[in-house]
Structure 1
């Protein structure tokens, strides 16, 4: 019986293998490489070979995308992680804690917006002075009378809302 060696995080995978194992398109891998999120090695012929541990980074990128975390922030967080080896459990825990706090803040903001929307739907107000959603505390009133949510028409464009 032939014994198959245990895979190591530093084993190199072709782009096709990474695509197959992660479900991420090759074009996305190239994009992540340009953004500095993943770092393939190159053969003398220019072929990309990815260390097996890049799969973990790709999984984290996919989770971040689902959570609405911009790739620039992912890159910032990845900069603190080692690029030449598998990040340790402690490395991932630190990353998770930062994102957990961000998600909690987003959750609280969504709950606040939901409360405001409930008040708005039930209040029947017809005045922007009293609207908690569009004009909390009549902040727009300090800018004078008239519409404050529309941008002026420029270069023949139709007016647009700012929010």
Structure 2
């Protein structure tokens, strides 16, 4: 792997520069661009060139992904940022305020799931009639007799 230093006078970055500097694969840079999360221009040789602010955007994307946020939500948040400059601390405060509620809800759901797991350890059957993990709020109990049973916990194993 090459560790060449970027010329500080360089006005744009290649896809390889972005990947190396941000710690993601080149394919990830292409994917983010295809999804509209970052933008590039093309030089005379039709090669992608990225402005330096894309490094901050990739960092924000990586942090948001670590919270479990879907790329569509990340894109919607990034679309609110100005494209003419690098996101700054105020932009980050704005983004983190937007994401806090969703992250709090995700944490609440994970804690509830964790707490429900304790009840399943003794049972082990993943009963389709009463399992709070496989059948929340007993929605399958309302199914009429003779309907096909779904698989246990999405494993493809027929229900009991």
Shorter-chain TM band: 0.7 to 0.9
**Residue of structure 1 equivalent to 2:80:** 80
User: 1:114 & 1:144 partners in 2: Cα distance?
Assistant: 31
TM-score (norm 1): 0.74
Report what 1:113 is aligned to.
Answer: 113
Residue of structure 1 equivalent to 2:4: none
**Cα distance change of structure 1 residues 81 and 149 upon mapping to structure 2, 3 Å threshold:** farther
1:73-114 Cα deviation digits (max 9, x unpaired): 211111111122112322211111222221111111011111
2:101 matched residue in structure 1 = 101
Matches within 5 A, 1:1-163: 11-122=11-122, 128-145=128-145, 149-150=149-150, 160=156
**Structure 1 runs, 4 residues or longer, greater than 6 Å off:** none
> In structure 1, how many angstroms separate the alpha carbons of the residues matched to 2:157 and 2:94?
40
Structure 1: gaps (5+ residues): 1-6, 152-158
Aligned residues: 148
After superposition, what is the alpha-carbon deviation per residue over 1:23-74, rounded to whole angstroms, capped at 9, x for unaligned? 2222221221111111112222222221111101111122223222221221
User: 5+ unaligned residues in a row in structure 2: which ranges?
Assistant: 1-7
Bigger Rg, which one: 1
Alpha-carbon RMSD: 3.0
Equivalent pair of 2:40/2:50 in contact (CA under 8 Å): yes
Indicate conservation of the 8 Å contact 2:57/2:87, yes or no.
no
* Closer/same/farther in 2, CA of residues 161 and 74 from structure 1, 3 Å limit: farther
Change (3 A) 1:131 1:32: closer
TM-score by length of 2: 0.75
Deviation at 1:123, TM superposition (A): 5.5
Q: Could you tell me how far apart the structure 2 residues matched to 1:131 and 1:27 are?
A: 41
